[in-house]
Amino acid sequence: MQPKIGFLGLGIMGAAMAGNLVKAGLPVTVYNRTPEKAAALVAAGARLAATPLSLAEETDILLAMVTGPEALDALLWGEQGAAGGFSAAKTFINMSSVPPRYTLNLAEELAPLEVTFIDAPVSGTKKPAEEGKLVILAGGDRDKIAALAPIFQVLGQKVVYCGPVGQGSMMKMAINLLLGVMMTGLAESLNFAQKNGLAPEALLEVIAAGAMNCGLFQMKKEMLLTADYPPNFPLKHMTKDLKFIIDTAYDSGAPVPAAHAVLQLFRAGVGFRLGDEDFAAVYKVLEHMNSRE
């Protein structure tokens, strides 16, 4: 019998992912704090749970995709929290981006409930989520992860096994480190070009024609040229992730000087009230700091 799937969190990412599960014909029940966000999914065939607890009780495999530790804690351990419905028969897959240390703590807290816990954040933002082309960074029992293939294949093009629980979150940190640094590199390069009299289109053309061309830069090109930054991955979330990365790097003794420099720009961006724009708006942070003589 096909397992029933629960989905917690219907933000930019969650809505796209749950939508793909519904489209694939899987039996999906969803929960979101603001139920309005579930309307389209319900119209498409999803069931709506009234509380995280009822979601957990009514389903076999619960996926969560929320903004971070606080949101996840509230949904798991708050009033009518999902954890109340966990048992040895169930699987809980956290796909939210959280620090590895948080994941390890969560694993300890979940242990007495005997629920199978999989740590599976994703690489990719809005568009890959919508297209089912996420890369899934899975930590936990290798066989159990393999058994989840039917679900993961709907959400993503690839599952990479990262190690025991916590290492999925760790991989996500490593990836977001690179993401933050690359985006800032593009922003510094473009701002440098403009301040020195080069056409931004010319720079982007040169980049696109060379070895640094990548999907990320193609995706951000329009934002940079139109100065309009609708959030695929909000700047404030990248800021939060970079702080986790700095912390983890510090603990492990890995030097990350570029990430430090990048974090400071994103932090300033939150200060400049750019937190809800896409993280490509780090370009606006640089513009703000330009000398205007």
Residue 241 and residue 173 in contact, taking contact as beta carbons nearer than 8 Å? yes
Residue 62 and residue 21 in contact, taking contact as beta carbons nearer than 8 Å? no
Pairing of strands 28-31, 5-8: parallel
Q: Looking only at residues 216 through 275 of this chain, which bind a copy of itself when binding is defined by CB under 8 A?
A: 216, 219, 243, 245-250, 252-262, 264-265, 267-268, 270-271, 273
Identify which of residues 7 and 266 has a Cβ nearer to a copy of itself in the complex.
266
195 binds a copy of itself (CB under 8 A): yes
118 binds a copy of itself (CB under 8 A): no
Distance CA 262, CA 282 (A): 9
Q: Looking only at residues 200 through 219 of this chain, which bind a copy of itself when binding is defined by CB under 8 A?
A: 202-203, 205-207, 209-216, 219
120 binds a copy of itself (CB under 8 A): no
β-partners of residue 5 are 28, 61
Catalytic residue among 172, 221, 236, 284: 172
Taken in order 232, 171, 249, 184, is the CA torsion positive or negative?
negative
Count of CB atoms situated within 10 Å of the CB of 37: 15
Instruction: Verify whether residue 127 is a known catalytic residue.
Output: no
Identify which of residues 42 and 246 has a Cβ nearer to a copy of itself in the complex.
246
Distance CA 250, CA 231 (A): 29
Q: Which two tokens mark 9?
A: 């969190």
88 binds a copy of itself (CB under 8 A): no
74 binds a copy of itself (CB under 8 A): no
158 binds a copy of itself (CB under 8 A): yes
Q: Looking only at residues 5 through 64 of this chain, which bind a copy of itself when binding is defined by CB under 8 A?
A: none
Only one of the segments 2-10, 24-32, 62-70, 193-201 lies at the binding site for a copy of itself (rule: CB under 8 A); that segment is: 193-201
DSSP 8-class letter at 2: P
The residues carrying an active-site annotation are 172
